[in-house]
Amino acid sequence: MICRHCGFSVSLQLIDLGSVPPSNALVAETDNSHGPAYPLRVLVCEECWLVQTEDFAAADELFTPDYTYLSGYSSTWVNHCKEYVESAVADFSLSASDRVIEVAANDGTLLNFFAEAGMTCLGIEPTAATANVARSKGLDVVNEFLNLEVATRIVEQWGPAELVIANNVLAHVPDINGFSRACKTLLAPDGVVTFEFQHLLSLVEQGQFDTIYHEHFSYLSLGATISVLTSAGLEVFHVEELPTHGGSLRVHAKRDSSDAHDQMQSVEAILTLEGDEGMWDPGFYLSFQAVAERCREGLNDFLVNSKQSGDLVVGYGAAAKGNTLLNFAKVDQGLLAYVVDRNPAKQGMLLPGSGIPVVSEERLRKDQPDAVVVLPWNLAPEIQAQLGYVADWGGSLLVAVPELREL
């Protein structure tokens, strides 16, 4: 395989999760196929250190018009978005006269906070279902994948933006170079673009293999990200460490021709950390497969023993990371009866691959299961508070990654 960024030949493997369906591609109860499956293998470029999936599924096969992920169903995420808006307005001295563009605007949860502050806002969102939810909030949304042509057209018709938000999307694009150039095109001369993504350092060191799925084409360190953005004519001037997704980075960048925003010490600090942890050495990546396999064995042992004991075990959260885990561990409805999710668009559907049904929280209260496996462990505090009543009947809440433990 050739690296998507630098063109170097790539062969170092991080992990092979087998052939599995796209993790967000829930299927109808009448669909016995449980969805199409593609190999999910992740490789490391030893030239630029971009970690990336092999090319098997195209973006338009993964981000379909009926894409079901909506960010507004998590109070943790809504609060994160609100805090981002408050800090961006303060840090970049934004006012009502400024333009804000959000790439991958999803249901408009974040962008709507900027609109409420009186700013002119535009969302770019390729999936029709989520774009329509954002439009229902009164937001203007371009329903397309961002590329250089789309960015040029937006600037001609709408104007450049003082702030471009590309949070939790850089990992989702197959043409990471073209996407980065498009983000630069959207920027006003002294504008700022921010990128948020799960930090590869946290992913590897904390065994977060379930955050790997087809929709994530790239897994990013700061070092690799700087290489990508520099090639697109962007300069990174500040980096923040965030707790989201088990450990993320928020990267602030500007046009390399801009004199605004001097580089801060945070950039060198994170680069030094990555180097000290060995991220530029192949050995850093070699034990990750074994970590995932141990997690799979622990979950399977628990579910098999629970079934033999007559205990009812269910899941909570029909999230992409849960589907990665369940399919890698080959868990089906015989071991996990169902998964509860608050999103009505997911209820009545089947998880891809495993065929496990998705139900409402009412079913959980009715059945009073012995154990609930919280699949989106990154939202564990929120879910633990929400499901505190499970303890009333003696039930337990657990997470399975990187190892099975009770909350």
DSSP reduced 3-state for 245: helix
Same domain, 182 and 118: yes
The answer to whether residues 84 and 194 belong to one domain is: yes
Average the pLDDT over 250-260 and give the result.
97
Residue 64 lies in a domain: no
Residues 120 and 240 in one domain: yes
Which of 52-66, 67-81, 200-214 is most confident?
200-214
> Is 313 a residue whose pLDDT tops 90?
yes
For 346-362, what is the mean pLDDT? 96
Cis peptide before 402 (omega within 30 of 0): yes
What are the structure tokens assigned to 335, written together? 């071991």
Positive or negative torsion for Cα 376, 378, 379, 381: positive
The pTM is what?
0.93
CATH number, domain of 103, equals 3.40.50.150
Centre a 10 Å sphere on the Cβ of residue 260 and count the other Cβ atoms it contains.
12
pLDDT digits (tens, 9 = 90+) for 121-167: 999 999 888 899 999 999 999 999 999 999 999 999 999 999 999 99
Q: Does 111 reside within a domain?
A: yes
Claim to verify: residue 97 and residue 218 sit in the same structural domain: yes
Percent of the chain whose pLDDT exceeds 70 = 95
Together in a domain, 118 and 162: yes
Neighbours of 12 (CB within 10 A): 14
What is the structure's pLDDT at 36? Answer: 82
Q: Are residues 327 and 372 in the same domain?
A: yes
Beta carbons of 101 and 164 less than 8 angstroms apart? yes
Q: Using 50, 70 and 90 to split pLDDT, how confident is the model at 31? A: confident
Residues 214 and 279 grouped into a single domain = yes
Same-domain pairing of 152 and 129 = yes
- What does the mean pLDDT of the chain come to? 94
- Considering only the C-alpha atoms of the chain, give the largest distance between any 2 of them, rounded to a whole number of Å: 67
Cα 380 to Cα 39, 65, 178, 209, 290: the distances in Å are 29, 29, 36, 17, 25
Same domain, 187 and 86: yes
Predicted confidence (pLDDT) at residue 63 exceeds the cutoff of 80 = no
Q: How confident is the model at residue 77 (pLDDT cuts 50, 70, 90)?
A: confident
Is the same domain home to 206 and 333?
Answer: no
Tokens representing 355? 């065929």
Is the distance from CB of 191 to CB of 161 less than 8 angstroms? yes
Torsion of CA 289, 16, 46, 184, to 10 degrees: -120
Q: Which domain holds residue 257?
A: 71-285
Residue 2 lies in a domain: no
State the pLDDT at residue 316: 98
pLDDT value at position 287? 97
Between 275 and 36, name the one with better pLDDT. 275
Mean pLDDT, residues 21-34 taken together: 83
